Amino acid sequence: MHLIPAGPVDDGLLRALGADLEARAGLQWCVGEPMPLDPDWRTQAGMYPSSALIDALIASGDDKGRGRRRPWRLAIADAGLCAPGVGPVFGEAEVGGCCAAIGLQPLRHGSGADADVLRGRLLTEALHELGHLAGADHCGRPSCVMYASCDIADTDRKHAGFCDDCRGALKWRGLRES
């Protein structure tokens, strides 16, 4: 799995996420080639369309992994993301594919959002998006990592883990929980 900084992103935070994903889900990871945030993508509200990041990840990996399973690539942007018809989002994934994106800016909001809280929220949202890459849909259990976060309180309420039903539904592709 490749963690891709989209624009300037704290390298220590990326490495902490990688270590957390390895410890929590057994994922082998590396920090991949940085990708720019194209200023033309920026909306009037100052956010970036999550689909633009995913499309750029897909385009940058077209020649990689042919004839074998393509590695997952997760873009992390220190920005707010949005999706058409939805508005602001914490992240988005190419369901069953190989690419996903997360925006850090909304994870910094709310009470007690220190470095440890940000790290926990980032892990929760990364597991959520990786769950989509592994084929999981949204879950109705507020404590499950696959629950759809409408606000930061939803993210804080859920655990960085899959409920039994979601765990059983995943196409594991190397994703496990310890």
CATH of the domain at 107: 3.40.390.10
pLDDT digits 0-9 by tens, 72-129: 999 999 999 999 888 999 999 988 889 999 999 999 987 667 889 999 999 999 999 9
**In DSSP terms, which residues pair with 101 in a beta bridge?**
75, 92
Banded pLDDT at 60 (limits 50, 70, 90): confident
Q: Is residue 175 part of a domain?
A: no
pLDDT value at 157 more than 60: yes
CA distance 172 to 3: 19
Q: SS3 for 76?
A: strand
Which tokens go with 25? 């889900």
Asked if residues 1 and 107 have their Cβ atoms less than 8 Å apart, the reply is no
Q: Is residue 37 part of a domain?
A: yes
pLDDT value at 175 more than 80: no
Q: Is residue 73 part of a domain?
A: yes
Q: Is residue 67 part of a domain?
A: yes
Q: What is the domain count for the chain?
A: 1
Q: Is residue 82 part of a domain?
A: yes
Q: Is residue 10 part of a domain?
A: yes
pLDDT digits 0-9 by tens, 9-44: 999 999 999 999 999 888 899 999 999 999 999 988
- Owning domain of residue 63: 2-137
Whether 129 is catalytic: yes
> Of 33, 94, 129, 177, which is the active-site residue?
129
